[in-house]
Structure 1
Amino acid sequence: MWQLRAGGLLGATSVATGAAGAHALGDRDPAYVAIWKTAVQYHQCHALALLATPMAAAPRARLVAGLCFASGTCLFSGSCYAVAWTEDRTYGRPAPVGGLLLIGGWLALALL
């Protein structure tokens, strides 16, 4: 199942970005460090959620939830990483779309 590979990749990259941020963002504005930490937290949580999607009973729920978790994580966490790294909040524009996709993934598991 593709969700297992994608979840594994998201899990590995969440650890890498967490470590990179811990070392590279030490002297930054604490507000941007907090954004980075939030991105890592959502990244890790949804990597685990993506790993669990193959256990969903309905094939449609597996597909929809998996796509929502994968794309939502990239958009939400990715844009938060960009904001924290560049200290330019305009890079955060995709975050709400990513957040809605993450919510959609959870709803797909619950309702489909």
Structure 2
Amino acid sequence: MNRLGLAAALTGFAAVALGAFGAHGLSLNGDALDWWNKATLYGLVHAAAALAIAISVQAGLLRRAGWAFILGAVIFSGCLYAMALGAPRGLGAVVPLGGVSFLTGWALAAASAVRR
């Protein structure tokens, strides 16, 4: 089983489903709406990147990049979704950890490209 591919597909599914729920099932405005939209965008973009990696490679730095994207989507998007739904704004202090995971993934992808 390709666990990275499965995680990427499930992350993408969740981003689309949560994006639709935010658009049609919630009444958000202001910061909450901005957080929800950003969480959906970042989650979906990084799920797609991780899926592309899962399809193209089986090991090495690039595979680690894919997992960094998944971790970043869970932390970054998850915290923003939670805050949009009323979680304490202090949770925003955790969001940058997801951003660092995204940056780590892109750095690993670059390092993998240099090694090839």
Moved >6 Å (runs of 4+) = none
The answer for the alignment partner of 1:5 in structure 2 is 6
Amino acid at match of 1:89: R
Separation in 1 of the partners of 2:87 and 2:9? 29
Alpha carbons 1:21, 1:36 under 8 Å: kept: yes
User: Please, what TM-score do these two structures have when normalized by structure 2?
Assistant: 0.85
Separation in 1 of the partners of 2:17 and 2:93? 24
The answer for the alignment partner of 1:82 in structure 2 is 82
Separation in 2 of the partners of 1:22 and 1:30? 14
CA-CA distance at 1:107 after TM superposition: 0.9
Number of aligned positions between the proteins: 110
Amino acid at match of 1:40: T
Separation in 1 of the partners of 2:70 and 2:79? 14
The answer for the alignment partner of 1:41 in structure 2 is 41
Matched, 1:23 2:7: no
**Structure 2 gap segments, 5+ residues each:** none
User: Please, what TM-score do these two structures have when normalized by structure 1?
Assistant: 0.88
The answer for the alignment partner of 1:71 in structure 2 is 71
- Alignment root-mean-square deviation, CA: 1.6
Q: Deviations over 1:8-31 (max 9, x none)?
A: 1011111110011112332x3322
Amino acid at match of 1:108: L
**Structure 1 gap segments, 5+ residues each:** none
Separation in 1 of the partners of 2:9 and 2:87? 29
Alpha carbons 1:82, 1:92 under 8 Å: kept: no
Q: Deviations over 1:52-78 (max 9, x none)?
A: 11325x822133112211111100000
Separation in 1 of the partners of 2:52 and 2:8? 9
